[in-house]
């Protein structure tokens, strides 16, 4: 997920579709410094909850959307 390059207040999947769900941490997304383009998910030290945060691309691993793979018979 990333910010819409034409409207930084709007978040979208890489396909361009908008996201209707969010689990933002307190105060997020804040686009700190105008550089936090991508969204990542993280949990507390115990792994009990997962929150969302906006972040610059070089800081974290990301979950990416991919179009569905066509089903093919495997021989």
Domain ranges for the chain: 2-55
Give the pLDDT confidence score for residue 30 in this predicted structure.
Answer: 92
Count Cβ atoms below 10 Å from residue 48 Cβ, excluding itself: 7
The answer to whether the CB of 30 falls within 8 A of the CB of 54 is yes
Q: Name the DSSP class of 34.
A: G
Residue 8 confidence (pLDDT) above 80: yes
**pLDDT tens profile 25-73:** 899 999 998 889 888 888 777 766 788 889 887 766 666 666 776 777 6
Of 58, 19, 61, 66, whose CA–CA distance to 43 is shortest?
61
Residue 75 confidence (pLDDT) above 70: no
CA distance 29 to 71: 37
Give the pLDDT confidence score for residue 52 in this predicted structure.
Answer: 87
Give the pLDDT confidence score for residue 27 in this predicted structure.
Answer: 93
Give the pLDDT confidence score for residue 21 in this predicted structure.
Answer: 81
């Amino acid at each position: 997920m990333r910010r819409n390059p034409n409207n930084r207040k709007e978040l979208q999947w890489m396909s361009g579709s908008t996201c209707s769900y969010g689990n933002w941490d307190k105060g997020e997304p804040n686009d700190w410094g105008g550089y936090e383009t991508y969204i990542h998910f993280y949990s507390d030290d115990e792994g009990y909850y997962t929150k969302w945060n906006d972040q610059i691309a070089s800081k974290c691993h990301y979950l990416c959307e991919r179009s569905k793979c066509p089903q093919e018979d495997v021989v």
